[in-house]
A and B are shown apart, each in its own frame.
Chain A
Amino acid sequence: MKYKTPFIEKHWNKLLVLPTVVYLGIFAFASFGLVVFLSLTDISFKGEIAGFNFVFAKNYIKALTDPIFQTSLKNTAILVCIAVPIEMLLGLGIALMLNQDIKGKRFFRSLFLLPLMTTPIVVGNIWRLMYNSEFGLINYILTSIGILNKPIPVLGQPETALFGIILIDIWEWTPFVMLIILSGLQALPTAPYEAALVDGASSLQIFRRITLPMLTPTLIVALLLRLMDAIKIFDVVYITTFGGPGLSTEIIGLTIYKEAFRKLNLGYASALTVIVLFVVIIVSNIILMIINKLTKR
């Protein structure tokens, strides 16, 4: 008698990923195809889609010379380049402190989780309260103790608004870096430390010669993940400044959102999307390959 493997058993591994492939196929790939198609047209959206013409590369050429898009690229770059290094340093510092023998370690760790878990829209609102020039906590304290003689509307003036956003980002995301580094620290082997103590090494030497080298892979993973996530910033800027005053806090996500859903230029917004998507896919795949190597998934 010939035993025939049932269909399900034979194709078991493929059947299991089929729903995922279909689901993401519809979302990711239909989305991608649609957005590329739209980017070649002058389509606009006023409740319904009206007729449209193919304009081919015109949207892309416009994007390359668009001062708003350039400003949002620049602002996003400034935000990432200032906020992420500070988050890394602060995160490392706090992780090192929490890795010491202190009372209530678990409690402190839980406390630091909170900013990260806070709904980004609420994060934005919290900081609008904090920054408010009439009653906000920051201005109140700084004027009371005499550091400022009059309150600063941090988010209300172009010179300071972007730095206001950067501080919010640091508040929200340092715990992310800290958590990753702390788990990296806790996974380090203890043998090298015992040897170093026997040899009479100082704390600084131990940190530079033992902790830092062994921690490097974790630091790189944290850095790369943060770089990738930092460019996604949207909610906080939407609720605090909506890109203003002027274009001082305009960032990539907001530019696409406004172009598509406020100015209703779906075609042009799609072209911006394709450019951003293209860059993100290349960069994130490089980043993923590095992370993959480092964590030996």
Chain B
Amino acid sequence: MNRAFLKLILFIGLAASVLFFFTPIVYLFLTSFKSQVEIYQHPILPKDFDLENYLIIFDPQRSGRFIFANLISSIIASFGSVAIALPIGTIAAYSISRYKTGGDNLFFMILTTRMAPPVVFSIPIFLIMKYSGLINTLHGLAIVYAAFNLALVIWMMKSFFDEVPKDIDEAAQIDGWSKTYTLFRLVLPRVYPGLFATAILSVIFAWNEFLFALLLMHSPLNQTLPVGIAGFYGERGWEWGQMAAAGLIAILPIYVFALIVQRHLVRGLTMGGIKE
């Protein structure tokens, strides 16, 4: 009796939470197939799975938007930032893991950039980018994202390096291998899976970023997807269906990435603090 009752509660609770957390995303999906008129006529299901909204947003002449260009910009900025942050952060992580370089001071300094609200960096970064001529360029945006991703890379990679036995370094030293060789040929290959997961997570965080893309990117062709999507306001008010279609385009790749690195997600979210 007790057991059956618990089972029932478990079932209801799970069903309710799946409904709450999943319905909004399904609703976005359904809305992406509706025209502006149909949204008012069919509040839930679309009358058919019409891809019109997707065709419109990818056609600048019909929508007046540049979603395809935004998509490319997002890819360049987020992967670019990882290309900068991953090598820099990984070698620092190795040093911190093996030699405790910088001690607690460096530890807190690096983490503070992750803890502070991004908006506190908005004014100085805006001015620095403007007067260095990097404003409105994708490499400029990638450089900014790399600064924010560095903390993630360092603390995630440190937790992976910590799991590689120190004996390897010591044995290599005794055998006379150089420190460069030890790091790049002996230790690094053991953290390749971690490196991959860190890269993907960094891409996700850069991809979802909005504030700096908004502040630094002025020309519509250079704007990233979140900024492009934020501007879905047309002559007839909000273009809901198109907005939903663009939203799905933005989140689908992220969902795929997230599923790939599921195993390391908690480690990434807690900056290496909690492992799975």
Contact = CB atoms under 8 A, between A and B. Distances in A.
Interface of A: 8-9, 12-14, 16-17, 19-21, 23-24, 27-28, 30-32, 34-35, 38, 49, 90, 93-94, 97-98, 100, 102, 108-115, 117-122, 125-130, 134-137, 140, 171, 174-176, 179-180, 183-184, 186-187, 203, 218, 221, 225, 228, 231-232, 234-235, 238-239, 252-253, 256-257, 260-261, 266, 269-270, 273, 276-277, 280-281, 284-285, 287-288, 291, 295, 297
Top 4 nearest A-B pairs (CB, nearest first) are A16-B95, A284-B115, A31-B124, A13-B99
B240 interface: yes
Contact of B108 (A120, A276, A285): A285
Contact of B251 (A119, A273, A280): A119
Given A28-B109, A114-B22, A119-B225, A19 B244 contact: no
B18 to A, nearest CB: 6
B270 A225 contact: yes
A254 to B, nearest CB: 8
22 contacts: A8-B179, A14-B95, A16-B94, A20-B150, A24-B110, A27-B144, A90-B17, A93-B17, A98-B14, A117-B255, A121-B229, A122-B251, A137-B27, A176-B269, A183-B275, A218-B274, A231-B117, A257-B122, A273-B120, A273-B123, A284-B112, A295-B274
B197 to A, nearest CB: 14
A129 B229 contact: no
Contacts of A174: 21
B1 interface: no
B146 interface: yes
B165 interface: no
Given A14-B101, A97-B14, A121-B229, A126 B28 contact: yes
B273 A234 contact: no
A24 B276 contact: no
A32 B237 CA distance: 40
A113 B255 CA distance: 8
A171 B125 contact: no
Interface in B34-56: 39-40, 43-44
Nearest to B154: A20
Nearest to B24: A126
Contacts, number: 271
B88 A19 contact: yes
B226 A235 contact: yes
B119 interface: yes
Given A112-B21, A135-B40, A285-B108, A16 B101 contact: yes
Contact of B44 (A137, A253, A280, A287): A137
Q: Is the interface of A mostly helix, strand, loop or mixed?
A: helix
Interface string B82-113: 00000011011011101101100010111111
B255 to A, nearest CB: 6
Interface in B222-259: 225-227, 229-230, 232, 238, 240, 243-244, 247, 250-251, 254-255, 257-259
Interface residues of B, number: 95
Contacts of A180: 266, 269-270, 274
Nearest to B254: A117
A273 B127 CA distance: 15
Contact of B211 (A12, A90, A97, A234): A234
Interface stretch (B59-67, B133-141, B188-196, B202-210): B202-210
B229 A125 contact: yes
Most chain A beta carbons < 10 A, residue from B94, B124, B265? B124
B98 A13 contact: yes
Given A27-B113, A119-B207, A129 B250 contact: no
A276 B43 contact: no
A255 to B, nearest CB: 9
Given A97-B13, A184-B274, A228 B115 contact: yes
B265 to A, nearest CB: 6
A100 B10 CA distance: 9
B219 interface: no
A119 B13 contact: no
Given A23-B150, A30-B124, A120-B210, A17 B262 contact: no
Given A93-B17, A273-B122, 19 more contacts: A8-B179, A13-B98, A24-B113, A28-B121, A31-B121, A31-B124, A34-B124, A34-B127, A100-B10, A110-B259, A119-B210, A121-B229, A135-B39, A174-B21, A175-B21, A183-B274, A235-B226, A261-B215, A297-B272
